[in-house]
Amino acid sequence: MNFARVVMVCTCEHLKREHLCTKANPTGPCTSCPCTAFTPEKQCGTPKCGHGKKAHKSGRCHECGCATFNPIS
C-alpha cells in the first residue's frame, strides 16, 4: 500500500507547525527564524526511507538507519 509522503519540515529545519499557516497563505513565514515561506525539504529516495535531509543530518538516517541520503530529484 503506497501512502503519499507529507513533508512537514522546511528547508530552514523548522517544522511546518512553526510557520504561520492559514487557508489564505499555506506557505506562511516561520515564527522561529527569518524564513519567509514554508519550503519543503528534499526527501530521500532510498526505498523504505523517504525521510528528509534533517533526519540524515549526521549521515545515517536516525529514523530508519539508511546509510546515505539520495534526494528525489
Across all residues in the chain, what is the average pLDDT?
Answer: 83
Residue 31 maps to a domain: yes
| For range 38-58, the mean pLDDT | 87
Exposure class string for 26-37: b at 16+ Cβ within 10 A, else e: eebebeeeebee
Q: Are residues 22 and 37 in the same domain?
A: yes
The pLDDT assigned to 5 comes to: 57
Q: Are residues 73 and 47 in the same domain?
A: yes
Residue 2 maps to a domain: no
Quick one: 13 exposed, middle or buried, by C-beta within 10 A (0-12, 13-18, 19+)? middle
Residue 1: band (very low, low, confident or very high) from pLDDT cuts 50, 70, 90: very low
- Domain residue limits at 33: 8-41
pLDDT at 3 over 80: no
CB 57 within 8 A of CB 51: no
The pLDDT assigned to 59 comes to: 85
Residue 6: band (very low, low, confident or very high) from pLDDT cuts 50, 70, 90: low
- pTM equals 0.65
